[in-house]
Amino acid sequence: MLKTILSISGKPGLYKLISQGKNMLIVESLDANKKRFPAYGNEKIISLADIAMYTDDDEVPLREVFESIKTKEEGQAVSIDTKKAKPEELKAFLAEVLPDYDRDRVYVTDIKKLIQWYNILINNGITDFAEDTTEEETVEE
- Segment 107-133, tens digit of pLDDT: 999 999 999 999 999 999 988 887 755
Domain assignment present for residue 13? The answer is: yes
Residue 66 reports pLDDT greater than 80: yes
Domain assignment present for residue 27? The answer is: yes
Which structural domain range is residue 25 located in?
2-48
Main-chain phi, psi angles of 97, to 5 degrees: -90, -25
pTM given for the model:
0.87
Q: b or e along 95-107 (b: 16 or more beta carbons within 10 Å of the residue's beta carbon)?
A: eebbeebeeeebe
Both 55 and 115 in a single domain? yes
Question: Which residue blocks in the chain are alpha helix, DSSP H?
Answer: 62-72, 87-97, 108-123, 135-140
pLDDT digits (tens, 9 = 90+) for 14-44: 999 999 988 899 999 998 788 999 999 889 9
Residue 4 reports pLDDT greater than 50: yes
Domain assignment present for residue 131? The answer is: no
Q: Look at strands 59-61 and 45-47 and give their pairing.
A: unpaired
Both 85 and 44 in a single domain? no
Cα distance between residue 12 and residue 115, in whole Å: 13
